Chain A
């Protein structure tokens, strides 16, 4: 049974990888219960490295292990994985194109309580900009499990963005998956909504509302933000009158930017982004409230689509 909680699904998938391949190692920076790397620790204590509160050190240590042929998974909150250890990631891991997997846990706004210093809304922009780095963001636990299976053979570093919460199942369970896959979850002819992570289920909800109002929406799950399947983006952006991107990330440099980069040399319908404006987060009592504060809701997606279609 796939766990609904993304962190739990991640932790279980990591254990399965560990059983399959001895080269899988886990490194943790004192957030093992939060990232769920504790599951790996329980089964493979000898391949688990508690590095203490020292993210930069952890990241470069993983580089050293990868140089010896291991597949290290480093764990901490997304904000520290990408921000604190950025130079280590860039220069020790991405320049030599090493097989290190970076688990950015409690990503986006999902660490709602801890506030601006802990909410990572720039991580996709940062990771996407580094040559060699791949960036994946599962829409649900089913997809997370399949992604993890791909991480044994994938060449080069991968950043995997993990939400803290339970996410509804939205991806087709039996469909094969590969990194780079862009999946249409629902077809429509008026508007195409490209979404990633938690925003996929929100886009699907929006599509239902739009349908009730006579607007047919295509919903596309872009769970690999890099390398982006440009052909698929162009294909799914064709034949509609409006395009909306939806992401739990800053409007600068994330999925919206990636989609626009893909569409830059082709004729396309007008595009609007749903995402976090250029601001730091705040502490909140709950995840939904924080998402609503920044308009990461079905209602905003609906409103944005209708505005582009001039149907307000």
Chain B
């Protein structure tokens, strides 16, 4: 979806409706892929579907036919385990045929369990091991400054992922360098692999931490498409700091039995559960 810069200023009803529909389709597609592959991370796919839909269908400027266009906005999917949702968004955005999604995790498939930039157009950098995306995004944002290029850099991390020190090292650099072209989105679903983040190694007060690192912080409902669009599509220019968007989400969102449960981090629905989920995700 190629957007004119002007469209980024206002959030029209049509854009919101488009993003909402795409988010629904991303959820359905990710679940289909997981069931077919017998593997995947549905909880985090569902929690990030609205964020990905807002980015690819309302915020990022790109041309899928020219995935390496130097002027494109960059998006780094640091929570690479949520490749079901990420690949679905990329395919729907036109980077590769949607039919390819059926090959998810098959041997030799370009759709590896974790996104690999050597395999797939639209994947800016390989991820999967947590804590890699932020510093790479900072490097991209610095490169844009050096080149005096107007593109923006977005990176999505999990909230558990924030425990990796690399995020904070990169965050310090970004704050120090006032990388206003950089936006970090945290999928704040409050669960990591084994338990709640606050019962594991607590993150709060997360917003204050990022502010203390020299960032602007916005806390939003990460399932509210209008809010996502308003915050993410707002132009970077008036800001003098990098922006951290804490997107409050529910892990498993959209599928009632998956909501807010650690066991659906890495679970695969059986046939009956899949049918229930798909019914809930009907238009």
Contact = CB atoms under 8 A, between A and B. Distances in A.
The answer to whether A and B belong to the same complex is yes
Interface of A: 30-33, 38, 50-54, 56-57, 79-80, 84, 113-118, 282-285, 289-290, 293
A51 B201 CA distance: 6
Interface stretch (B128-136, B230-238, B270-278): B128-136
B105 interface: yes
A46 to B, nearest CB: 16
Interface string B200-238: 110000000000000000000000000000000000000
Contact of B107 (A30, A114, A282): A282
Given A113-B113, A114-B113, A116-B116, A50 B129 contact: no
A141 B122 CA distance: 44
Interface residues of B, number: 31
A113 B37 CA distance: 9
Contacts of B106: 283, 285
A115 B164 contact: no
B107 A293 contact: yes
28 contacts: A30-B163, A30-B200, A32-B194, A50-B194, A50-B201, A52-B201, A53-B161, A53-B163, A79-B129, A80-B129, A113-B37, A113-B39, A113-B113, A114-B113, A114-B114, A115-B112, A115-B114, A116-B112, A116-B114, A116-B116, A117-B126, A117-B127, A117-B129, A118-B113, A283-B105, A284-B107, A285-B37, A285-B106
A285 B194 contact: no
B109 A283 contact: yes
Contacts of B129: 79-80, 84, 117-118
4 A-B pairs with the lowest CB-CB distances in the bound complex, closest first: A52-B201, A52-B163, A117-B128, A283-B113
B43 interface: no
Contact of A283 (B112, B126, B160): B112
Given A114-B114, A283-B109, 12 more contacts: A30-B193, A38-B194, A50-B194, A52-B163, A52-B192, A113-B37, A115-B116, A117-B129, A118-B128, A282-B107, A285-B38, A285-B106
Contacts of A38: 194
B114 A54 contact: no
B165 A30 contact: no
B194 A117 contact: no
A75 B165 CA distance: 18
Nearest to B114: A117
B165 A282 contact: no
Contact of B165 (A56, A80, A117): A56
A277 B124 CA distance: 27
Nearest to A282: B107
